[in-house]
Chain A
Amino acid sequence: MLEVFTWLADWLTYGLAGMDPESKLGTSLHFFIEDTTKIFALLVVMIYVIALMRASLNLERVRHYIQQKHRLTGYGLGAGFGAITPFCSCSSIPLFLGFTSAGIPLGITMAFLFTSPIINEVAVIMLWSLLGWEFTLVYIIIGMGVGIGGGMVLDVLKGERWLKDFAAKAYRQAAETPQGDSPAPEAPSLTLKERHAFARDELKEIVERIWKWVIIGVGLGAALHGFVPDGWFADNLGSGQWWNVPAAVFAGLPLYSNATGVIPVMESLILKGLPVGTTLAFCMSTVAASFPEFIMLKQVMQWRLLATIFVILLVNFMIVGWLINLLSPWLFSGFH
């Protein structure tokens, strides 16, 4: 079904524009047209459909659900809901405080916040269409893993010691008050018409927010694709020395992008022979460890906690990179 977009790009680039399929510019333009049209078409359809389904999911219900569960299950749930709950980064602070003041452990809240930027419907759709389902699955598993692992380590270190006073106080108060079986917040019962209205607004908002990122990301990916020779990474970086992974993590740090912008770049990097683990480490570092987000969290955390979280994330990305590089001969046998 998706070949349509390849044909469209063939026709526009080589037919209409009369470019040479062997030329750098031709290859780049072809890549750009194919990926942008494909991504936008899929996004519009999928965002709408997913929004229809999750119109009645709200944070109050998610919080209540997590509260009722055992702590260990909580980490998985935190990361899982972080992945599926519609959530804008400007809400991180209210969400953080809402969870904390309900007595949800810091690690579970952070599992939610770690996973949220890494996995969302837009990222999954793009990965699936550009890199296939095996890769998407691995991405989801490690995204959840980074969230769950990071959250657990944070609780083992008793990170809640380093919350700002008012947040720590709210957390202690909630922990001291017996929770009991408070009734679940009611699921809003929505008519199909209301669901449609929600989905339409959601679609409009998401597309408005990400279209630039798609263009920039695919543009960069296309440039890499056309102008960097095949095997360049293997020739210049060696094929997967251990230090490549930390280097990729640090290279990703100052770059601030969301998953939408970085996924098309990943596609090109992998096609050009950068090992999959190294690529993923770079991508996660770009997406999930961004300074603007960290500065926001400063409102509720002391520096010490922020620094701890930062280090945990970086170490996680490196572990992911090394692990996937080690396993990739088995995981992606058909890939290179």
Chain B
Amino acid sequence: MKKIEVLGTGCKKCTTTAEQIQAVASELGLEVEVEKVTDPATIMNYQVMSTPAVAIDGKLMHSGGVPNRAKIEAMIGA
């Protein structure tokens, strides 16, 4: 099971990102664990400056906004 972290200090866009990833994953029948990460130190360690950002299994995949559907599929599907 993939562990997906949505990085962000808790703005609305971060919530949207987490929800959309969850929705796409359930639609594709993939089992994922989506977690929202708000701890500043963790976000810093990922070297992220624009949030929301997405890390999958500890690897940064996306940053700087709500990812669109195609991008979400590419991230969690592969």
A residues bordering B, Cβ < 8 Å? Answer: 58-60, 63, 88, 90-95, 97-99, 101, 166-167, 170, 296, 299-300
Contacts and interface: CB of A to CB of B under 8 A. Distances in A.
A88 B64 CA distance: 10
Contact of B43 (A58, A60, A94, A99): A94
B70 interface: no
Given A58-B64, A93-B40, A93-B43, A98 B48 contact: yes
A242 B70 CA distance: 59
B44 A101 contact: yes
A73 to B, nearest CB: 21
Given A58-B64, A296-B9, A91 B49 contact: yes
Interface in B20-60: 40-41, 43-44, 47-51, 53
Contacts of A94: 7-9, 40, 43-44, 48-51, 53
A63 B43 CA distance: 17
Interface of A is mostly: helix
A166 B41 contact: yes
A97 B48 CA distance: 9
A63 B48 CA distance: 12
A299 B39 CA distance: 9
A90 B49 contact: no
B10 A63 contact: no
Contacts of A296: 9
Contacts of B10: 90
A299 B44 CA distance: 12
6 contacts: A93-B9, A94-B8, A94-B9, A97-B43, A167-B44, A296-B9
**Which 8 A-B residue pairs are closest in the complex by CB-CB distance?**
A90-B11, A98-B49, A97-B44, A59-B49, A166-B41, A93-B9, A299-B40, A95-B49
A137 to B, nearest CB: 30
A95 B43 CA distance: 10
A296 B43 CA distance: 15
Nearest to A296: B9
